[in-house]
Structure 1
Amino acid sequence: MLPSVVIALAYFCDLIFADPYRIPHPVQGIGVLINAAERLQGRLLLAKKAFGVWSNLTVLVLIFCLSLVMANLHWLVEMYLLYTCLATRSLYNEGAKVRRILNQGDMALARKELSYLVSRDTAAMDQAQITRSAMETISENTVDGITAPLFYMCLGALVSPWLPGASLAFAMTYKAINTFDSMWGYKNERYLELGWFSARLDDWANWLPARLTGAVLLPLSALVLRYDWRSAWRIFWRDRLNHASPNSAHPEAAVAGALGVQLGGATSYFGQLHDKPTIGDNNKPFTTELINKNLNLMLVCSLLSLGGVLLVLIIVSRV
């Protein structure tokens, strides 16, 4: 079956069913491999940084090769595994859940639900802080969970005539990079050196998808939804570097501009208050309706991403 068709089917499976919680998820398997690699530390005579590089490359090559094999078993296997690389529906559901709980006025439950989505301290957050945090994680994960996986599916599909199954191999390897960063990419004593390469690799993998999302896809989404697409474009270019991460502020800046809010600012992580640079202009208060608008932006962005992928593959197939 054509890679473009398999990718489209995978996208709509994700949109309809969300993450398959009752079925073992491939990312869980990747996590098992990463934990197994960490247990090897100390047995190999390597410095922490060198061990981190070795672990990343070993697991990533294994995931890449295994994905090629799985993709060539049957197109249904490939479609299912591609579907697990996407998170449009799950991200929408989690954001909508926080919004619904806030509307019900249950602040304690809202803080608890948010704590499953972010690494920051949520225990003392008020309604505005919860809303801002939800919007920041939705915006950032629009890249990690949607546009970047679709980007690598497309890249793999372009080389699949010479390397059958590359669409899945590229996407699943990206998810492995992302998982390494989520498990090892902490700046603490345990992972500062061990996870250095994981964090850098994730930055490199997201470099182009983050910029395409912030500069093109989100302003176009704002235009479709009749939000302020001009401000999305303007704030993107002004504030896209206002973050410790080289990529996170790109989608956040476009969303902040489109919705007229200011993201960033004082945020508590593991008991320490960090004064993060601000992103956007403080034109509107943080109401729960803004979460809904952010989710609408994310949904349209995902559809435009899929459309862009299919358009590229159709054009290339006719050249």
Structure 2
Amino acid sequence: MEIVIIVAVAFLLDLIFGDPYWLPHPIRLIGLLISGCETILGRIFPESKRGALIAGIFLNLIVVATSFAVPFFLLKGLALINPWLRYVVETLFCYQIFAGKSLKQESMRVYKYIKAGDLQNSRKYLSWIVGRDTESLDFKQITKAVVETVAENASDGVIAPMIFMLLGGAPFGFLYKGVNTLDSMVGYKNEKYLYFGKFSAIIDDILNFIPARITGMAMVIGAFLVGLDGKNAWRVFLRDRHNHASPNSANPESACAGALNIQLAGDAFYFGKLYKKKTIGDDNRAVSAEDIVKATNLMYVASLLSLIIFEGIRLILVVYL
């Protein structure tokens, strides 16, 4: 029962405050752990495909185990001191795991520069939230990239961690963020990380398999609620949700593209190399900066809908089991 209240309060805190820059963030500590372990493991294991693969497995195990164990034992210790202290700290942890407000802030910053016609800053701040090369993108490509990021991170940054927190509190939430942060830092198919990050990418795909599909369906329902094209969201979701190298990313992206009646994805450059990618959605109209606002609203509605549904399920399980 406590975790239902904790997650709900944490969601509300993120909705209001986001991630203040002055507040130390645990995800940054996970990032530092990954960087440190990467350096150490790179010295221990041989520079070969096999060596990189084994080193990547050890990296994943160390980071994921630490991401779970530290909050788990910390909260256990606080519960022995004072249960209310444990609830406060766990609420703070869960609040910091949610990334909805920060996603909105970063996206709207790019939106502001697009509206101002400032291409240089649009590219600069887009590079803060996407992995692709941004130096040669025009306003249309920048807008599409922001919309894709909002849609994908509705799952990675809000709904997926929400599900894990409702399953096992902050320790499960941090376990998920450990996996997700590993994928964002080493899960690339380039020369450096193809083997070293392979295991981390696979684990991330596994953990996100169900949440990504839930997010896609929540966005379809949300499209009806916010006055977007819900019928087209469902149609495109069913048709294009596999149009991505990742087994998960196109699920929320396809629902969002259908809801907005625009086309997303397509070819993109990563680390100077062109990757051929399928498109998602139909090119029914020109993309505009306002699509960023609409995608952000859709992300919030889908997140709130998911919170209500899964907290309801958790309450039912508590009462009847």
TM category, shorter: over 0.9
Q: Any residues of structure 2 matched to 1:1-319 within 5 Å, and which?
A: 2-41=2-41, 42-43=43-44, 47-72=51-76, 73=78, 74-156=86-168, 167-214=169-216, 216-319=217-320
Q: Which deviations, in whole Å up to 9, do the C-alpha atoms of 1:196-245 show, x marking residues without a partner?
A: 1011011111000001111x200111011121111111111100000011
State the alpha-carbon separation in 1 of the partners of residues 70 and 196 from structure 2: 25
Q: What's 1:163 paired with? A: none
Cα RMSD (Å) of the superposition?
Answer: 1.5
Deviation at 1:271, TM superposition (A): 2.3
State the alpha-carbon separation in 2 of the partners of residues 223 and 172 from structure 1: 32
Deviation at 1:44, TM superposition (A): 5.2
Unaligned runs of 5+ in 2: 79-85
| Residue type of the alignment partner of 2:31 | G
Identity of aligned residues (%): 44
Moved more, 82-91 or 43-52: 43-52
Count of aligned positions: 308
* Segments ≥4 residues shifted beyond 6 Å: none
Q: Contact 2:114–2:139 at 8 Å: present in 1 too?
A: yes
Q: Contact 1:30–1:176 at 8 Å: present in 2 too?
A: yes
State the alpha-carbon separation in 1 of the partners of residues 45 and 115 from structure 2: 53
State the alpha-carbon separation in 2 of the partners of residues 235 and 212 from structure 1: 15
State the alpha-carbon separation in 1 of the partners of residues 313 and 302 from structure 2: 16
Q: Which deviations, in whole Å up to 9, do the C-alpha atoms of 1:119-144 show, x marking residues without a partner?
A: 22222222111111111111111111
TM-score (norm 1): 0.93
Q: What's 1:160 paired with? A: none
Deviation at 1:258, TM superposition (A): 0.6
Moved more, 93-102 or 32-41: 32-41
Deviation at 1:106, TM superposition (A): 1.3
State the alpha-carbon separation in 2 of the partners of residues 87 and 199 from structure 1: 20
Deviation at 1:292, TM superposition (A): 1.0
Q: Contact 2:45–2:52 at 8 Å: present in 1 too?
A: no
State the alpha-carbon separation in 2 of the partners of residues 142 and 197 from structure 1: 24
TM-score (norm 2): 0.92
